[in-house]
Structure 1
Amino acid sequence: MPQLAPHIFEMLYARGVEHAFGIPGDFALTLYDALADSPIQPVVMTHEPCAGFAADAYSRIRGLGLAVVTYSVGGLNMVNAVAGAYAEKSPMVVISGAPGVRERQEHDLLHHKVKTFETQKRIYEEVTVYATILDNPLTADLEIHRALDYALTFKRPVYLEIPRDMVYADIQELEHPPPPVKRTDRGALLEAVAETVEMLREATRPVILADVEVHRFGLQEEVIELATRLGVPVCSTMLGKSAFPEGHPQYVGIYNGEAGDPRVRDIVEQSDCLLMLGVFMTDINLGLFTAHLDPSRTVYATSERIVIRHHEYTNVLFEHFIRELAARNDLPRFDPSTIEPMRPRVGPDEGRITMSGLLYELNQFIDENTLLVTDVGDALFASDDIQTREGTSFLCPAYYTSMGFGVPGVVGAQLADPRRRAVALVGDGAFQMTGMEIVTARKLGLKPVVIVIHNGVYGSLRAMGHENAEFVNIADIDYAQFACALGGCGVVVETAQQMRHALQASRHADRFTLLDVRIAPDDVSPALRRLGELFAGRLRG
């Protein structure tokens, strides 16, 4: 009979999980013993929120991530990061150690307990798609299979709590895996695809909006094939940036309603057949809901629902819809020669570095081996004018927008895809939250490039009509000196030439590189400038 925790770790390893992020604690020590004996490498972080962010980033690349924490003080400390993974559909597995079954029965007041022994599990029910306590050897294997099925089907986190006296418990293994949680109705699938093809045949200006779920479900190749066969323009949103390769000649840029590039906005909003594939209809993705999209001219396909014009098709899996549509042999063909590819709205600086110049130099540095992770604030909004080269090469928390994702995210991303050089673009406010995690990169021998936008303020809040507010100013730090103290290479950047030389030097560095890029507080990206105007207008009513 298999033992509980070793069985879970073997199943996760078989599904591509090679690293587990977390911090041990006394209720998780036995769990960590089992983890250390498994083929999965424990990665001990500095703080549980960082473990959650790293596991989230890892799962966005590998398709599944893992965080292992202790009871309450560890698990509850990580809730915000897991909430972000839930909101943005990142299928990470949270495994928490916990008081043993027997000691719960014998002692009511054990350390780390909050209200009841089930408090942590109930909280995690709000931020995961499946949560359970594995305290029964007869049903544990069924619960594990269900959890993984939910995580992989809905691309959301799941929670498994293991009492410490159950870690090595012999469990009854299922003879056959349980049926899948969701299935496609073949008839409904064919009708949905047929109606989509009919819309395309009637259209004169079709456009594909390829978004985050194309990435989450690993459908990039199918969408590239679909776009190439159709010959239509393709764009994305900030959350789904790089779901479609930005170097492709049919890719036109980021769509963000009134807050985005007017050229891209016109292409999307003037389309008479908009294929919205895996799109999150959020305020940040749609320029504070300034998007003007006519439902009668859209195909809206996500893992939640398939809606074509005003017809909804139930029991159709998103990935089945995309693959069936891409495989059709009766798709119409449009002329791609008139498509103008993405044009970043930034240029080089001659002297002192500006936000535009930073983005320009970053665009020159990025190649097919670059993996970019951004935090929130202007580091996120600037992505409108950052051009990546390969698909699945950009990660950001563009819906939940929790600060602190960038540095731990770049650690998770680098471990998930070690063949590429990971770059983090973060504001100084976000760096002050989780920047200490760069020491984990040093410990692991990773060599990310961390670019800190050093302007001394919460830039996005300041741009939203609060230029004179004292509470948007933050403490000043010499970030380059801080990086050197942690064993990395820290460089102060004040000119465009220094930026260019520092980026090139980072290619050959034998440790992590931090660029302390000193920008004026009122110098923001084109996207944040427009978004700030829209938001300030809303605040004024």
Structure 2
Amino acid sequence: MPQLAPHIFELLHRQGVQHAFGIPGDFALTLYDALAESEIEPVVMTHEPCVGFAADAYSRMRGIGLAVVTYGVGGLNMVNAVAGAYAEKSPLVVLSGGPGVKERQERGLLHHKVKSFDTQRRVYEEVTLYAATLDDPATADAQIHKAIDSAITFKRPVYLEIPRDRVYAEIEETSHPLPPLKQTDPDTLSEALAETLDMLQQAQSPVLLVGAEVHRFGLQERVVAIAEKLGLPVCATMLGKSAFPEGHPQYIGIYNGEAGDPYVRHRVEDSDCLLMVGVFLTDINLGMFTAHLDPGRTISVTSERLAIEHHEYVNVRFEDFIAALEEHPDLPQRDPAAIVSMRPRVAPDSSSVSMGGLIYELNQFIDSDTLLVTDVGDPLFAADDIRMQAGTSFLCPAFYASMGFAVPGAIGAQLADPFRRAIALVGDGAFQMTGMELITAKRLGLNPIVIVINNGSFTSLRSMGHEEAAFVNIPHLDYAQLATVLGGHGFAIGTGEELRQALRSARASNSFSILDVRLAADDISPALQHLSALFAKTLKG
């Protein structure tokens, strides 16, 4: 009979999990013993929020990931990062050690306990799709399979708590395989395809809008094939950036309502058939809800909902619909020659470095061997005008928008895809939250390039009409010098030429690098300029 924790690790390894992010603690020590005996490599980090961010990024890249923490002080410290993984549909498995079954029965006041022994699990029920305590060997296998299947099927985090006296418990394997959690009804799929094709054939100005689920479900090649067969202009939401190759001649840029490029906005909002694939209709994706999208002219397909005009189709799997659409022989074809491909709104620096100049240089620097991870604030908005090459990946917390994602996210991303180099674009405020995790990158032999936008303020908050507020200012640090202290290479950057030289040096380095890009507090990206103007207009009523 299989043993509980080794069985979980074996199942996850079969799904492609090669690393487990975490921090050991006394309630998880036996669990870590089992992890060390497995084929999954433990990655011990400095702080549980970083564990969650790194595991989230890894999960987005690999299709499933793993975080292993201790009870109470570990698990509860990671809740924010797991909440972000839930909001942005990341298939993360959280394993937490816990007090033993016998301890729970005999000792009411154990350390790390909050209110009851079930408090942590109940908290995680709010930020995961499925949460269970594996305290019964007779039911554990069914719970394990349900958790893993839920994470993979719905791209959401799940939570399993293992009492420390059950880590090596012999469990009864499920005698019959569990049925699929979601199945496609063939007749419903046929009806949905027929209505989709009818709209596409009648449309005069159809547009394809791509979202994050295209990346989560590994459907990039199919979506490219659909776009090329239809000959449509293609754009993406911020959360779905890089799900469609941005060097493709049919790609026109990021759609972000009135905060985005006017050409992209008009193509989308004037379209008489907007095919939205894997798109979340969030405030940031829609330019703070300045988007004007008519449901009567849209086809919206996600893993959760398929709606065409005002009709909704249930029991159709997202990936089945995309596959059937791509393989359909009657897709109407158009000439893509009139499409104006993406044109970033930036120019090179002549002397002193600027936000626009940084974006320009990144567009020259990023290649197919690059992973770009941004934090929230202006690093996120700057990505509107950063052009990702074919084969690159872009990760960001563009919906949940929690600060601190980029540096640990870059570590998780580079472990998930070791053949590419991670670039982390991060503000100085976010770096002060999680930048110390670079000592983990050093220990692991990773070499991310971390670009710190050093302007002494929470720039996006400052741009929302709080220029004079003291609470938007943050302490200045010499991040270039800090890089040396942490064991990497640091570059203080004040001019465009210094930026170009630093990027070249960082690319050649086998260690991590920090590029300390020193900007004025009011030097912001084109997208944030538009967004700030919209926010100011909203405040005035």
| Shared fold, TM over 0.5 | yes
Q: Is the partner of 1:115 in helix, strand or coil?
A: coil
Counterpart of 1:235? Answer: 235
Name 1:42's counterpart in structure 2: 42
CA distance in 2, matches of 1:177, 1:480: 55
Structure 1 CA distance, aligned partners of 2:536 and 2:123?
A: 35
What residue number does 1:205 align with?
205
Structure 1 residue 67: deviation in Å? 0.3
The reply to whether residue 402 of structure 1 matches residue 402 of structure 2 is yes
Which 4+ runs in 1 deviate beyond 6 A? none
One-letter code aligned to 1:148: I
Cα offset, 1:149, TM superposition: 1.0
CA distance in 2, matches of 1:497, 1:392: 25
Cross-structure match for 1:464: 464
Q: Do the aligned partners of 1:465 and 1:533 also contact (CA within 8 Å) in 2?
A: no
Question: Per-residue deviation at 1:443?
Answer: 0.5
Q: What aligned pairs does 1:241-320 form with structure 2 within 5 A after superposition?
A: 241-320=241-320
Tell me, yes or no, if the aligned pair for 1:243 and 1:392 is still in contact at 8 Å: no
Query: Post-superposition shift, 1:392?
Result: 5.4
Q: Where do 1:59-458 residues align within 5 Å?
A: 59-391=59-391, 393-458=393-458
AA partner of residue 380 (structure 1): L
CA distance in 2, matches of 1:446, 1:392: 18
What amino acid does structure 2 have at the position aligned with 1:137? P
C-alpha distance after superposition, 1:31-83 (max 9, x if no partner): 00000010000000100000000000000100001000000100000000000
Q: Deviations over 1:123-164 (max 9, x none)?
A: 000000000000000110000000111111110000000000
Tell me the C-alpha RMSD between the 2 structures. Answer: 0.7
Following superposition, the deviation at residue 350 of structure 1 comes to 1.0
User: Residue deviations 1:109-136, cap 9 Å, x none?
Assistant: 0000000000000000000000000000
Letter in 1 for 2:323: R
Name 1:538's counterpart in structure 2.
538
The answer for unaligned runs of 5 or more in structure 1 is none
Provide the secondary structure at the position in 2 that maps to 1:208: strand
Query: What do the CA deviations read for 1:352-375 (whole angstroms, capped 9, x no partner)?
Result: 000000000011000011100000
Letter in 2 for 1:206: P
Contact 1:243 1:391 in 2 (8 A): no
1:70-111 CA deviation, whole Å, 9 max, x = no partner? 001000000000000000000100000000001110100000
What amino acid does structure 2 have at the position aligned with 1:55? A
How far apart are the structure 1 equivalents of 2:4 and 2:392? 34
2:374 and 2:405 in contact (8 A); partners too: yes
SS of the equivalent of 1:53 reads: helix
Instruction: Please tell me whether the aligned partners of residues 184 and 316 of structure 2 are also in contact (alpha carbons under 8 angstroms).
Output: yes
Identity of aligned residues (%): 70
Indicate conservation of the 8 Å contact 1:232/1:250, yes or no: yes
Partner-residue secondary structure (3-state), 1:143 = helix
Which position in structure 2 is the counterpart of 1:492? 492
Query: Hey, what's the Cα distance between the residues in 2 that align with 1:484 and 1:537?
Result: 44
Contact 1:210 / 1:236 at 8 angstroms: preserved in 2?
yes
Measure how far apart 1:191 and its partner are. Answer: 0.7
Partners of 1:425 and 1:484 lie apart in 2 by 19
1:130 and 1:444 map into 2 onto residues whose CA distance is 32
Q: Distance in 1 between matches of 2:532 and 2:155?
A: 32
TM-score, with structure 2 as normaliser? 0.99
Contact 2:256-2:286 within 8 A present in 1 as well: yes
Give the 3-state SS of the residue equivalent to 1:382 in structure 2.
helix
**What's the TM-score, normalizing by structure 1?**
0.99
Which amino acid in the other structure matches residue 35 of structure 2? L
Q: CA deviation at 1:391?
A: 4.5
Which whole-Å CA distance do the structure 1 matches of 2:459 and 2:70 have between them?
A: 35
Taking the aligned partners of 2:314 and 2:366, their CA distance within structure 1 comes to 41
Superposed displacement of residue 175, structure 1 = 2.3
